[in-house]
Structure 1
Amino acid sequence: MSRTLRLSAIRPSWLPAGLDARRLVLFWSAVAGVLVPVYFLVLADVSHLAWDYRAYHAAAEAALHGDPFVGIETGLPGVSYVYPPVAVALFVPQAAAGGWQTAFAIQSACNVAAALGLAALTVHTIEARRGRLDDIDRLLVVGFCVASAPVLSALGLGQVDTLIALALAGTFVALERDHQGIAGVVIAAAALVKVFPVVLGLWLVFRRAWHAIGVAVATATGALVAGGLWFGVDAYIRYVHVLAARSRVSEFAGTVSPDFFAMSLYRPLSQLLGTVDPRLYGPLALLAVAPAVWFVARREHTLTDRLTTYLAVVAGMLLVSPASNALYVVYAYFPLVCLLYLDPGGRERWLLLAGTAAMAFPVQPAHVAAGLASLGAPSTASHAVLAVVAPVLSVASVPLLGLSAVLVWCTIHTAGRHVPLTTAHTPASGD
């Protein structure tokens, strides 16, 4: 296929000749990311710099001194350590290096390195299939993985989301190369930190990656036992209690604030079915998502098919989990960007492009209000804008709309391929 044909395949008819919609979306996402430090360091009343990391550091310091650390408070509103006890091992070396500022600098370097690693894996996967990318495309992929709003927000908070995103991308790549042992270790490590990536075990079952599953189970079991020996069984008992107390399910009772960072389908369900017990939102969300994911997964033959399945599984996982927030979209970056470059496209491609742009723009009414105030907008104009924005974002956040659009794209795209059903994994080498 010629270069011209490749570009025209991803350029919608409404876009002027010479412009690549894919590049525009990636560029938009990186530019929008610049608004994150502007908002938190200039416009917001509180910067929230390193807020989440303060919990990791406090827990690691307590662990170093042999004190209880699960659920430890930091003195910051709503910030405490709620990860599995064994996960604190990630932060103990950083805590031993010095105060939280020094440790945060180390964590930030690790996060940037992970984001660059994610970009490198993405570029390598694309180029292994279609040849070397232009320098501008390489730069845009790196910019998207390092400077988009969800990534910069995670970096500012000191979160571990870029590390998890790299782990999930590495799992896919390892499985494609038939390194099932590596895939099992990596996916287990991700699940030991964030827990809900354990859902991807179902994807491993579908891929019939039995060795990867065995290694993942062995790795997780060994880590949990080691954590129990190191920190004691009481730490895990307390973790279960803290996790139950911190469950977000109850926060969806009635309606939720449009500034609440939740991103799953629990948000629209809480608005549309406010009188329903929020514990039913999980089954309802699963009922809405599972058929689409199953439909996509049953038609898996080529590398792009497998990437589409992986994207659908990750999107479904995020849409169903009540713990999902707007930063977790970075977990979908690897298959998303790969498909932007590897899939030849079709009329439904605008859903993938629009979904990508929306996922990278986690705007909330509070952000809009602060932006309008900084521009000196009249109060009447601000109230009019917020009167429209707040109700809409109460029902569905922008990243939620984007992730939903991506899942719809996966379904429509798969339906349009007219490929036969399959229940077995086709090796990448057979593409």
Structure 2
Amino acid sequence: MFVFLEAKKIFFRYNANLNLGKIYGLMKKLLIFTALCLFLIACQHHGPRYNPVVRIKYSKNTANNTNSSSNYVSITQNPWQYMLNQIEANVPENSRVSAERERLLRNPKGFEAVALRSEPYVYYIINQLHKNNLPAELALIPLIESAYDPLATSSAQAAGLWQFVPITAKEYGLQRSSSFDARRDLIASTNSAISLLQNLNKRFDGDWLLTLAAYNAGEGRVRKAIERNQAKGLPINYWSLDLPTETMHYVPKILAIIDIVKNNKRYGIKLPDCNYENSLVRIDISKNISLAKIAKYSELSLDELATYNAGYVQQTVNGPFHLLVPYAHAKSLFKKLQAENLVVNEITELLQDTPRSNMAFEFRTSFIQSNSIVSKDSFSKNVKKIVYLVKAGDSLYSIAQNYRVKITDILQWNNLKNSRVQEGDMLTINLVNANPI
């Protein structure tokens, strides 16, 4: 409106002194100026509704270009270092993020142990995120959801690394039967989680805070919270929404973990030094075979094998389907299964998605027990430290009773000032040096 008033003033100011040709030229310039102003004004109002908190740093065509940086680390070399190099999240410094970070840093060894537990799975997860042009730091979601335990089950019956509840699992094609639960399968659940995250991020206009909130609470709840704020004339960003208590903690916790990973040296946190020998590869099984038999062939314990293949409810591979085993054990196992005509194709490296049989396999491997999270640095003859992920309904008393340790010991091991714990806390428990009850 201001532009038109100014044009009118100028026109009448010069109308008496200029001929028609000059007036025409002047008005033409004013019209061009007016159009330019309107264009600039319009540009200010057509950005995204929400500011994405995590920006994608790379493109599909350049992310694996080793010439792009002298410090480049591939996913195969070290997925955690790769993720660290890719992080470009804008982590806000507010009281909610600070509180979650403080809680996580109370038990740095517990954090490191859970991160280490990701080793067999994180290669595939980060590679799939890269292939779908999604931020690598989304691989931190299973760290919060399940402590990277595919056998984890919540009080709401969410299951697997990505903690799919039954209704969402069905919507995203994760089948469940008496013999197989795809929510616990690394390949199926990761692919479905990526589809879910892509859909949510698109529906919330690229805002990763709202995307993560919806992943935790459900899209409907986040939509309703936005609508309530809109009706009251309030802001509709994540920090302004009235969401379930769990979700109010969930997003700040993810941001706190991103900050801890990004600034791990500042916080004294050691990121996992992963070995590709421990990553999982796929063997396609043609006939039914028990995991117990496969365990004997592979020199893995049944617990280890059952954890890597947590989708098999009855601990039997119903062929034709796939089996997941660590890279270091695949070749010898494949030969034994091949001798009994139990396999099809060749060994498939999950990062390649193509069968391969010419892999080098001379490794010495250590594994993490399925019922605990054990740090490589914590092994000794007399000490076994585990990290317990607190579940809904747990108390320090019930945890102490379960592991036959004293509450005072747990308080001391975790630098806790009181006995209050909440779902998602990670507690270090020393099973050998505990004082007798």
TM-score (norm 1): 0.25
Question: More helix per residue: 1 or 2?
Answer: 1
- Higher RCO (C-alpha under 8 Å, 6+ residues apart): 1
Higher share of residues assigned strand: 2
Larger Rg: 2
